[in-house]
Structure 1
Amino acid sequence: MSENLAELQREIAALSERIVALRNTHAMFPDDAQGTAEAALAELEYAERLLGSAGTELARAHSGPPEPRRPAEDGDRVLLRAVFNELSVPVVLLDHEGYVRRINGAGATQLGSAPGYLTGKPFSHFVDLRKRAAMQSWLAAVLRGDGPAHLESRLALRGWAEDVHLTLTRLELPTEAQPLVLVAMSPPMSGSEEEGPAPLESEVENQVVVLAARRLDVLTRMTRLLLRGTTPTRDLALTDAADLLADSYADWVVIDVCDLPEGPRAARRAAVVGPADAPEGQREEVAALVPGDSDIPGEVLGRGQSLLFPLIEDETVLGRAEGGAPILAALGAGSLLSVPLRGSRGVRGALTLIRRSNRASFRLADLGLIEEIGEHIGLALPPRPQ
């Protein structure tokens, strides 16, 4: 009885989280209403069944011990593993919580990482923020036995967004106590990619020499700017610095400054610069957030340590808009880094850069460059008032 009740509570909590995610997605991306509505309808049907069977489940006594599962033959297991690994179709096997249990070579290539790295990661982390809520709802529907699901989605891999068609199928294996889900990835059925910002970097810029030259150019331009900008109009200088980075290195640039020694809670948002095609009012939403109230830059301001997210796993780390929707999801973020502005007397602020999912992810080399720029900006800030 207690186990059934605990399981029911877990299902209701998970359903509530998915409904909130779908509501936020619909609020931020009304143009995707069809895909979001289909996922919401599946959740509604499940809620109806859950309510209808809740009384029966709570009253049902414990059943007898399940029949012992017959272990699979070793030969069959080896054969199935070989077939799985050699399939030319990208496939991923997920456990009942959505974590990657196994992935074949084609699937690892599709996600842009080694199988050993991908195993144990939540599959949702490799889905673009805009499509993540719908995918999680369909995954839950498949796991509870509503049949296979077919959906158009988008992967966020290596910092690039790629449209893909996902087929989710529930598997019942005699050696597993919980059902698994097989995810097959194929080209989108529509044959056309979603509209979005065009990639700003060509493939040649992946070459080490070109990237190194570009980083040196950014650092040189920033140094010149800071040497010219050490004037009482420091807010304007910070906006100029943010403009330079947004023009050449990121889509969104946020600079937060601590004018008082009280720490992160006293920080103010000094500059916010975004792309020219950002929706009206989006910059003001980012500017209105209190820096110390969010994980980023709150943690950078408090601990003085840099943070790098090549892939955005938690879209709430930069805070939420007034309606409760995660800001990073609204920005279409693909990767993020945040570094302290370190002056002669400690951390004076934080510099946060965001790239959308249509651009290459930030790397360790990018983090090193921005850390150096952050230190230069910190040293150029005027002293705190006594």
Structure 2
Amino acid sequence: MHDQFDQLEPEAMLREITELEGRIGELRQAAGLPEPDLRATLDAALVELELALAALRAMGTEHGAEQGGSAAAENERRVLRTVFQDAPVPLFLLDRSSSVRRANRQAASLLGVSAGYVSGKQFASFCDLATRAAVRSQLAAVVRTGRRRRVQVRFLGRERGIDAVVTLARVWIRGEPDPMVVVAAGAAGPPQGANPPQGGEGATRARPAGEAGKREPQQRAAGARPAGSAPRPEPARAVPRTAVPRRPDADGPGARRATAGTDDARAERAAPVPQVPGVPAGDDETVATLVHRMDVLATACELLLDEPVFNETVAVRRCARLLAAELADWAFVDLTGPGGPALPGAGGATAADAVPMLRRQVAMGPDDERSVEAARMLEELEPVQGTLPHTVFLTRQSTVRPHVDDLELLGVCPDGQPVCAKIGATSVLSVPIEDGERCLGTITLTASGDYGPFDLVDLGVVQRLGRYLALVIRASRLYRRRAEVADTLQAGLLPKTLPEIPGASVAARYLTATHGAAEVGGDFYDVFRTEDGWGLILGDVCGKGEDAAAVTATARHCARLAARWKPTPGDVLGVVNEALLDEDRFVTAVMAGLTMETERALVSLGVAGHPPAIVVRADGVIRSASRGGVPLGLFEDFEPGLDGVELAVGDTLVLYSDGVLEGCNLQRQEFGMERLLETLAAHAKDKPEGMLAAVERALLEFCDGDLRDDVSMLALRVEPPSLN
């Protein structure tokens, strides 16, 4: 070993020491992986110690002796030329930096790629993370010492990890300034007592949690979903998955895997697979791949479009959960805000307008304790400049890295460990989330290689899914903006605060319907001074939207103005009716005129086709006032329904819209008058605010939060005389 270092010039010696430091750092990272190969790492560490010792002995001595043994090197070169391509075992020829110069047909077949694809890439890139550092160290030892070595590795095969034992031998080739290494691979079973690698065959991968309206991911051997299978929610749990072998692809990594439950895999693999036009009969693996891709896209459409109201957060999490379950080990979604940069050329936007402001929305991986902890940390790790998601976002160019060599491709964790090493990522793809006008973010997937590397088919599927997600996000943001505008306009149609009425307390509630929330509702209420006391009015305009808002404003302000000179609610409603005759919408309303006296209030009621007022006595007795009249704005000869009640201390007057009565549960049963009266009676002792809050809770619980119409309520209670 000492002699080998003596042959190096001082510059080469410094280079060797620098490379030694780098390999030692890789060994440290390998020891910190979720499932490290500690035996291989230890063996490699001992090799590095031997090399370091030899380097120390050689420091300060004279170097420069010419490499001897040219006859032996030439002899090995002739042997390689004769045997290399037709050897019955996989062979790789590596240069001094461990890059693959050439691979024979058997080696390409082992990895499931073409020989041209392997050339130029780091040999360690085709090994799993647990053995990469050890392989690099052993290769360096072979180059320096010339001793042949045997190393157990796990290749990242096309469908799953492949355990193998490789023999490393140094050769000298004329014309090459540095020695080269021949790697011969032979099959090997897993070490005795070794744990199965995470994500490999026989391992588990998390299935997404069941959700309302979400189809349960099916167990697939041939990738096909059983016909007529019905969606059903299921708690989150781990499901065994295996890979489906496919025919090798001559142009690169093969198509991704379809998956199956371990117990059913053998039986389902034997089942016939439907014929796909353009695919040769009998090519079951290709058909399985196509069916699986179509099923993933169909499931994605179902999940993204299932919500009656688009919800960006729900859509993003559903998309990530599906991808992490069906195509990858980890899924990351990074988004910009609602004002994200426009695509160059869209609406006059230029490349200078694309200011990257990516924020991580979700990081989803396996459901084991270590991965869940890592996911929490990775959700706080923003995609910084230079990382693959950031680059894809800026360039709008989808990228697939079948074999990852740069472990910092996705950034570095706060503890200094590369993200790829943290999650065991050996294959990565990233696509932009584009809606046709703007790039809203990126989807990034990683795989450990146990099911094979990502390929262009995977990239195409995720690109399409990114487009679907972008459209849902755009619709969600547009809907949210419209809802905010509607809320602002609706707030302008309702009083900001209710006036204080001496001797009484007043409260109001307004709930927007969950359907059509982006449109202005037609409910309104108001409390105002009248000629002889106070007026309370609550109404409901037919329909929603801007036209309904105009009628709402007319009805409310007309009633407030007419109450200044009209003595009774019936007269006030008559004036409002005349004002609305030229409108295309009608209005139902109920108005109460109050005259406050000592320890009581006299109430006169006018009703225009509206649900009747309710009086809740202090002792819990309920009285429903008279109904009647016709809606406002329909006929010139308007006649309201009239009634009068007297309220004592502790009595409460309640006005409400028909949205309360017509709220429905999942069985399409209405909340109805009886449930309303029971709720009010149960809270007869409460203040008006507490009474209306109780009705709101009961209604939302009955409807499961799904309101088909706007709800408005107004309550007044007579209070005891103040000592002041």
TM over 0.5: yes
Distance (whole Å) between structure 1 residues aligned to residue 79 and residue 12 of structure 2: 35
Asked whether the equivalents of residues 98 and 122 of structure 1 are also in contact (C-alpha less than 8 Å), the reply is: yes
Q: Distance in 1 between matches of 2:32 and 2:103?
A: 34
Query: In the TM superposition, what are the counterparts of 1:219-234 in structure 2 within 5 Å?
Result: 219-229=297-307, 231=309, 233-234=311-312
Aligned to 1:337: 429
C-alpha distance 72-276 of structure 1, shift in aligned 2 (>3 A): closer
Q: Once structures 1 and 2 are overlaid, which stretch shifts more, 258-267 or 164-173? A: 258-267
Q: Deviations over 1:133-155 (max 9, x none)?
A: 11001111111116222221111
Structure in which a larger fraction of residues adopt helix:
1
Q: Deviations over 1:215-234 (max 9, x none)?
A: 22222222232223474752
The answer for the alignment partner of 2:27 in structure 1 is 22
Q: Which residue of 2 aligns with 1:365?
A: 457
Q: What does residue range 84-233 of structure 1 map to in structure 2 within 5 Å?
A: 84-145=84-145, 147-173=147-173, 176-188=176-188, 195-196=196-197, 197=199, 198=201, 199-203=241-245, 205=258, 207-229=285-307, 231=309, 233=311
Whole-angstrom distance in 2 between the partners of 1:68 and 1:31: 40
Residue 300 in structure 1 maps to residue 392 in structure 2 = yes
The whole-number CA distance in structure 2 between the counterparts of 1:102 and 1:190 is 27
3-state secondary structure, aligned to 2:443: strand
Distance 1:317 1:73, change over 3 A: closer
Give the TM-score of the pair, scaled to structure 1. 0.86
Deviation at 1:71, TM superposition (A): 11
- Taking the aligned partners of 1:203 and 1:274, their CA distance within structure 2 comes to 24
**Structure 1 residues 61 and 14, CA, compared in 2 at 3 Å: closer, same or farther?**
closer
Could you tell me which runs of 5 or more consecutive residues in structure 2 were left unpaired when the two chains were aligned. Answer: 1-7, 202-240, 247-257, 259-283, 342-353, 482-724
Q: Deviations over 1:2-54 (max 9, x none)?
A: x9332122212211211111111112246522221221121122222223322
Partner of 2:467: 375
Q: The residue matched to 1:319 in structure 2 has which SS?
A: coil
Structure 2: how far apart are the matches of 1:140 and 1:231?
Answer: 60
SS at match of 2:25: helix
Moved more, 184-193 or 5-14: 184-193
Provide the rounded CA distance (Å) in 2 between the counterparts of 1:230 and 1:37: 57
Q: Which residue of 2 aligns with 1:320?
A: 412
Preserved CA contact (<8 Å) 1:230 1:380: no
Say whether the 8 Å CA contact 1:139–1:168 is kept in structure 2. Answer: yes
Compared with structure 1, are the counterparts of its residues 28 and 9 closer, same or farther at alpha carbon in structure 2 (3 Å cutoff)?
A: same
- Preserved CA contact (<8 Å) 1:264 1:301: no
- 1:209-288 to structure 2, matched below 5 A, reads 209-229=287-307, 231=309, 233-259=311-337, 260-261=339-340, 265-277=356-368, 279=370, 280-288=372-380
CA gap of 1:41–1:80, structure 2 versus 1, over 3 A, is closer
State the match for 2:705 in structure 1.
Answer: none
- C-alpha distance 9-77 of structure 1, shift in aligned 2 (>3 A): closer
Matches within 5 A, 1:13-92: 13-29=18-34, 31-56=36-61, 60=62, 80-92=80-92
Asked if the contact 2:333/2:361 (under 8 Å) is kept, the reply is: yes
TM-score of the superposition, structure 2-length normalised? 0.48
Is the 2:73–2:172 Cα contact (8 Å) retained in structure 1? no
* Letter in structure 2 aligned against 1:243: R
In the aligned structure 1, how far is the partner of 2:133 from the partner of 2:73? 35
Cα distance between partner residues in 1 of 2:325 and 2:73:
58
- For the pair shown, the structure with the greater C-alpha radius of gyration is 2
Take 2:429 and 2:189, find their aligned partners in 1: how far apart are those partners? 34
CA change 1:71–1:161 in 2 (3 A) is: closer
Amino acid at match of 1:359: Y
Please give the root-mean-square deviation of Cα atoms over the aligned residues, in Å.
3.1
Amino acid at match of 1:318: L
Aligned residue for 1:218, secondary structure, equals helix
**How far apart in 2 are the matches of 1:225 and 1:80?**
56
Structure 1 pair 7/298, CA: closer, same or farther in 2 (3 Å)? Answer: same
**Equivalent-residue separation in structure 2 for 1:51 and 1:356 (angstroms):** 38
Q: Compared with structure 1, are the counterparts of its residues 84 and 227 closer, same or farther at alpha carbon in structure 2 (3 Å cutoff)?
A: closer
Q: 1:90 to 1:327 in 2, by over 3 A?
A: same
Residues 356 and 394 in structure 2, CA contact (< 8 A), matched pair in contact too: no
Distance 1:66 1:135 in 2: 26
Moved more, 269-278 or 251-260: 269-278
Q: CA deviation at 1:269?
A: 0.8
- 1 or 2 for the larger relative contact order (CA 8 Å, sep ≥6)? 1
- Compared with structure 1, are the counterparts of its residues 227 and 35 closer, same or farther at alpha carbon in structure 2 (3 Å cutoff)? same
Deviates more, 1:249-258 or 1:359-368: 359-368
**Structure 1 unpaired stretches of 5+:** none
Report the CA distance shift for 1:4/1:379 in structure 2 as closer, same or farther (over 3 A).
same
* Closer, same or farther: CA 66–163 of 1 in aligned 2, 3 Å: closer
Structure 1 residue 161: Cα displacement: 0.9
Greater alpha carbon shift after TM alignment, 147-156 vs 114-123: 114-123
Report deviation, 1:174.
5.1
| Shift in alpha-carbon separation, 1:91–1:232, aligned structure 2, 3 A | closer
Structure 2 counterpart SS, 1:333: coil
Q: SS of the counterpart of 2:32? A: helix
Amino acid at match of 1:249: L
Across the two proteins, how many residue pairs are aligned to each other? 379
The residue identity in structure 1 corresponding to 2:9 is N
| 1:297 shift after superposition | 0.6
**C-alpha distance in 2, partners of 1:353/1:114?**
24
* 8 A Cα contact 1:343 1:379, kept in partner: yes
Q: Given the superposition, is the C-alpha separation of residues 347 and 12 from structure 1 closer, same or farther in structure 2, using an over 3 Å criterion? A: same
Amino acid at match of 1:267: L
What is the alpha-carbon distance in structure 2 between the residues aligned to residue 278 and residue 201 of structure 1? 24
Q: CA deviation at 1:128?
A: 1.4
Query: Identity across aligned pairs (percent)?
Result: 31
Q: Is the 8 A contact 2:156 2:452 kept in 1?
A: no
Per-residue Cα deviation, 1:101-135 (whole angstroms, up to 9, x for no partner):
33333223223233333333321121112211110
Deviates more, 1:41-50 or 1:131-140: 41-50
Quick one: structure 1 residues 160 and 36, their matched pair in 2 at CA, closer, same or farther if it must change by over 3 Å? Answer: same
What amino acid does structure 1 have at the position aligned with 2:465? I
Q: Answer yes or no: is the 8 Å Cα contact 1:264–1:291 preserved in 2.
A: no
Conservation of the 8 A alpha-carbon contact between 2:401 and 2:429? yes
Equivalent pair of 1:264/1:298 in contact (CA under 8 Å): no
CA distance in 1, matches of 2:83, 2:464: 49
Structure 1 residues 21 and 271, CA gap change in structure 2 (3 angstroms): same
Distance 1:216 1:187 in 2: 35
Measured in 1, the distance between the counterparts of 2:388 and 2:415 equals 19
